[in-house]
Amino acid sequence: MLKVNQLTFSYKKDIVLKDISFNVLPGEHLAIIGESGCGKSTLLKLIYGEYDLNSGHIFWENTEILGPKFNLVVGYDFIKSVTQEFDLMPFTSVAENIGKYLSNFYPEKKQERVKELLKVVELEALANTKVKLLSGGQKQRVAIARALAKSPQLLLLDEPFSHIDNFKKQSLRRNVFKYLKSHNITCITATHDKNDVLGFADKLLVLNQQKIEDLNTPQHIYKHPKTPLIASFFGEFNVINNEIIYAHELQIVETSQLKAIVISNYFNGKNYLIEAKTNSQQLFFEHNTALSVDTEVYLSKRLSNAGR
């Protein structure tokens, strides 16, 4: 188990994280979200042992994670981290990069392991290609595979699919998170992409203004967003009479107390996002067809709570 207890950290005088506490169970996937600069990446680096804490403690099982004041070499064998800087060997092949830290005493096992991970990150066809010739997304996939090579107990992922094209991202995300679950590898992911969270994370931690704003399952936080900041992570939303209502939860009705005028239509594939205005605010709702600008509509929250 990972235990973070009353963690506080600052760069010089500016406090970045304050009184942060949470646990992550073996094999569990925790996702961390928040605005840029909220401390997501910093928290991962602290868990890795890259910085020294101002106060508090971090434990993996019975081992305390300590920073450079205590460790000549940063990091621990049971933790691997994939950051935005991939730190790969550019003049060697994809396969050689993935197998960099695997023993050469068992060449057949090493080859099998590399082959297995090439499949996980969908790079079999590029196994013998030099890393310097890869795209940013392909390098990111090599970095993930190399981090998995020695079967870490804890994997830290900082925006792990940010460089990867959308047509590859969906299957790759499924492959990686399915692999982690099947091998009982604990994972902490810092992300700005809701698709890294919904369907994959066991718990979701929201950072805001140095502290934890919410910590629960993704389903609970999605259905019961405490703040507009949290709702904005999941999609378009409205605040009506102090209630947060997602755009897909509003529907057109024959009459209601909420009357609006259509401003714009945005096709999003499955339907249209409609922008409208009332006398006092701007609203967003979803509709199966586009609506003419200046059309007057009445809106209400859907009776079914299936979307929440």
- Domain 235-301, classified CATH 3.40.50.280, yes or no: no
Strand order in the sheet with 186-190: 79-82, 154-158, 186-190, 29-33, 203-208, 211-216
For the chain, what percent of residues have pLDDT higher than 70? 98
Q: For the chain, report the end-to-end CA distance as a whole number of angstroms.
A: 31
What integer pLDDT is reported at residue 308 of this predicted model?
Answer: 55
Residue 225, classified by CB atoms within 10 Å of its CB into exposed (0-12), middle (13-18) or buried (19+), is buried
> pLDDT by residue (tens digit) across 193-204?
999 999 999 999
| pLDDT band at residue 86 using 50, 70 and 90 as cut-offs | confident
| pLDDT band at residue 280 using 50, 70 and 90 as cut-offs | confident
Q: Where are the domains of the chain?
A: 2-223, 235-301
Give me the long-range contacts of 84-90 (CB less than 8 A, separation at least 24). 84/41, 84/158, 84/159, 84/162, 86/139, 86/140, 86/142, 86/143, 87/143, 88/131, 88/139, 88/142, 88/143, 88/146, 89/131, 90/130, 90/131, 90/132
**CATH assignment of 2-223?**
3.40.50.300
Q: How far apart are CA 167 and CA 125, in angstroms?
A: 17
Residue 83, SS3?
Answer: coil
Residue 41 has pLDDT above 90, yes or no: yes
**CB under 8 Å to 112, separation ≥6 — which residues?**
none
Residue 21 has pLDDT above 60, yes or no: yes
2-11/14-24 β-pairing: antiparallel
Six token digits for residue 262: 């259509």
What integer pLDDT is reported at residue 47 of this predicted model?
Answer: 97
CA 151 to chain centroid, in Å, comes to: 21
> pLDDT by residue (tens digit) across 141-192?
999 999 999 999 999 999 999 888 888 899 999 999 999 999 999 999 999 9
CB 65, CB 58: distance < 8 Å = yes
What integer pLDDT is reported at residue 168 of this predicted model?
Answer: 86
Mean pLDDT of the chain: 94
> pLDDT by residue (tens digit) across 103-144?
889 899 999 999 999 999 999 999 999 999 999 999 999 999
| pLDDT band at residue 304 using 50, 70 and 90 as cut-offs | low
